[in-house]
Amino acid sequence: MENKTSQDEETLDKGWKSAQSLRSDLKSGVRDDVKVQDSDLGVGNLLRRIPLFSRRKSRSLVNRIIWLLLIWSVVVYILGVAGLWWSSSKVIEDNFSQQAADWVGKLDEMGTPLYAANDEFLFQSIEDQVRRFPEIAYLRYYEAEKNTVIAQYVSIKAAEHKIPRLTPVIIEKLRLNIDSEEPVSIHTAEDGLSLFQVAAPIVTRSIRSDSMLDFDLDESTAETYKIIGYLELGLDFSHYNEKLIENIVIGSVGVAILFFIAAIFGRILIKRSLRPLTNMRKPLEQLARGKIDVHVKSEGDEEIVAIANALNTTIKALKSRDEELLRLANYDALTGLLNKHNFNIQLKQEVQRVISENDSSALLFIDLDQFKHVNDNLGHAAGDRLLKQVADLLKNRIRTDDVISRFGGDEFTIIAKSIKEQDARIIAASILKAMQQFVFVENGQAFNIYCSIGVVLFESDDFNAEEVFSQADMSCFHAKSEGRNRYHMFDLTEQEELRKSADISWSKRISDAIQNDYFTLFYQPVVSLKGDKSEHYEVLLRMVMEDDEIIHPNAFLPAAERLGVAIDIDYWVVRNALRKISELKADGRDVYLSINLSGRIFEATNLIEKIKRYISQYNVETDHIIFEITEQTAVRHIEKASETINKLVALGCRFALDDFGVGFSSFNYLKRLPVDILKIDGDFISDMVKDPVDQAMVKSMIQIAKTLNKKITAEYVQDAATLEMLKQFGADYVQGFYLGKPSRNISRQVYDEALKHIDTNILTF
């Protein structure tokens, strides 16, 4: 049965705010940083990904540039020093090769007399001469025949090491090298010495003794060579290496000082150059947090100015977008008055203010009497012009502090603040008189447009905002019933008498309907968007009058609630729905039914036993039964609802939470209820294609359902565009007149037609 109870005013907790507060806060204008997900330009999300504005610890751009320059300079310097060391070592080595050759030639000439005279004083003169050159580490003269040292000089540094004599292998090489002018390199010193060692033969040359007359200048054997000894020389180039290292160290210190000074001045210069960019940090951090009331200064180099101008343009676009969204969310696009949702918020705030300040205010509900005639005969454009003129007329009849809205198609509401009953009557009469004098002219035709007004005074905490509005609505209906073009002041006693009279009348009708099966069930297709072809319907209750008139449950369920017979209606619906499943099963049909339960069902003491009996009686598979309760009902009876649902789930039944998103329910409550399906309230779906706020709400609720591993059903699907959008958002099931209207019979043909709509729409993606 379609039991739509009044909305509960529950406080939103943090978990549920991700969905519900997006709609309520945006449309009330209480948040400046609201973003509609589908139209979000994404600047805040983009900036949060930039390291400078991320939550991770960031570093200064100036310091980063300085460090990069320093590191690169050190790398270049190390490479330069390495290259200098390598090239210098090669130069020293080449230089010593040349020096060795020169020294060998000199020492050959100086030492040759030693082999002839064997004079100790002669070698002493040689030693005195080489001692003046620190690069000469040692000098040895060898006798050729005996391979013994006949004279040697060893420096103090070289004396600390044992330098081996020439080996036979090297001597043999020297013998073979007699014709070469280059000495032979050797390496026989210990690793502790850095020596360049060479050896060369000491050779004497002679001319063959012949008569002068037989002398032939071209004869190759005219000159002979004889090795009389060997020369071994060791040159020490460590002194040059030490000097090279010393100079490199001194140069490095000097370069480091220059780098340090350059880094200080470079940091100052870079910081000064990048100051316009660093000045952007604070406004950009605010922008990244969603605050768009910032301005970025345009200064510095042309690239930075271009960035600043682009950001300011983006910020301006964001401001314009948010202003437009707030305007669309809070105001009626046609008349510029507050819209329905925002007016409801204003009414709740005014009711609270009246209670806290012990004041009194009035609510006026105004319904145009001839609007439908104008709209049908002159077209919607003329109807829109009429509504604009009426809106201007009403705005001129209220005070500055009063609140006016376009509540519906041709309905207007006014909150007249801080007035008594007599003042409320004067305002209503004034509006009636102004409307009676108003003439709407269109295409040369003049129309008198009258209105009916319901007035209610609220001055205590006896009624909440919804009840106050309901009283104004009933008063307007009363004014229409009395002949229109008048106002009616709400009278509680009068309304109570009318309601009691109506309840007495409905009591007999409901009792007869239960006993005589004057109720009937209608079935509306619920179709899967995920490829499931099994038949699924929602069970809807109707009452059949004697003249076959079909009565909607909204007419009799409130009376049934007050009379305490709603539970009996629930049992009738459950029993007949399960019987229908059994009948379809016998015909070979596999059908799932969703059955609505009233809020009174949780007061029943024998609910589980009766449902068990019905299941057994009709031999129904429990997973084919889906019970539905409204979100408000579940929250209002959270403990009992959770207990009852758990028991029914234990039987194998499933549960759906109807009117999801309307009742301001807590996210924690939702987690506590073991429901399988969430049914989004139709108010969010009906205008979703045109309303970006509803789109964001529906998308958020679907995301929450996915997080909780629950299915989503969207009702009130009226057109293909809505169906496509729900498919894109990820809804699981859909129902509505576009797919199939409620019918007394469960027709597979009707269900197949609904499936065709789904398949056709899926192909368009």
Q: Reading across the β-sheet that carries 451-458, which strands appear in turn?
A: 403-406, 411-416, 361-368, 451-458, 487-489
Q: Tally Cβ neighbours within 10 Å of residue 338.
A: 22
Q: How far apart are the first and last CA of the chain?
A: 35
Length of the chain: 765
Phi, psi of 323 (to 5 degrees): -60, -40
Give the three-state DSSP class for 209: coil
Token pair 């580490």 is found at 137
Q: How far is CA 128 from the centre of its chain?
A: 88
Count of beta carbons in the 10 Å neighbourhood of residue 506: 22
Residue whose structure tokens are 């925002």: 342
Which residue reads 């008048």 in tokens? 486
- DSSP assignment of 627-652 equals EEEEHHHHHHTHHHHHHHHHHHHHTT
Distance CA 543, CA 551 (A): 5
C-beta of residue 539 within 8 angstroms of C-beta of residue 752? no
Dist. CA 316–CA 228, nearest whole Å:
102
What are the beta bridge partners of residue 711?
A: 677
Give the Cα separation of 661 and 682 in Å (integer).
10
- Going by C-alpha positions, the residue among 520, 372, 558 that lies closest to residue 451 is 372
| Residues whose CB falls within 8 Å of the CB of residue 345, separated by 6 or more in sequence, listed in order | 24, 27, 28
Six-digit token pair at 492? 């509680």
Closest CA to 53 of 314, 312, 277, 287: 287
Do residues 343 and 414 make contact, with C-beta atoms less than 8 angstroms apart?
no
CB 403 within 8 A of CB 418: no
Closest CA to 32 of 349, 344, 326, 324: 326
- CA-closest candidate to residue 330, choices 39, 9, 691: 691
Candidates 116, 115, 138, 135; CA nearest to 127 is 138
- State whether the Cα torsion 8-9-14-19 is positive or negative: positive
**DSSP element (H, E) containing 404:** strand 403-406
Q: Evaluate whether 233 touches 198 at the Cβ level (below 8 Å).
A: yes
State how far the Cα of 228 lies from the Cα of 114, in Å rounded to an integer. Answer: 10
Q: Token digits for 578?
A: 């399960």
What sign does the CA torsion over 430, 433, 439, 440 have? positive
Whole-angstrom Cα distance, residue 198 to residue 232? 6
* Cα 735 to Cα 747: distance, rounded to the nearest angstrom: 15
Given 25, 236, 369, 410, the catalytic residue: 410
- Residue with structure tokens 């905490």? 461
Q: What is the b/e burial string over 20-45, where b = at least 16 CB atoms within 10 angstroms of the residue's CB?
A: bbbbbbbbbeeeeebbbeeeeeebbe
Q: What is the DSSP string of 672-726?
A: HS--SEEEE-HHHHHTTTT-HHHHHHHHHHHHHHHHTT-EEEE----SHHHHHHH
Burial of residue 742 (CB within 10 Å: 0-12, 13-18, 19+) is: middle
* 623 has catalytic annotation: no
Provide the token pair at 446: 């003049």
Q: How many CB atoms lie within 10 A of CB 552?
A: 12
User: Which residues are catalytic, by number?
Assistant: 410
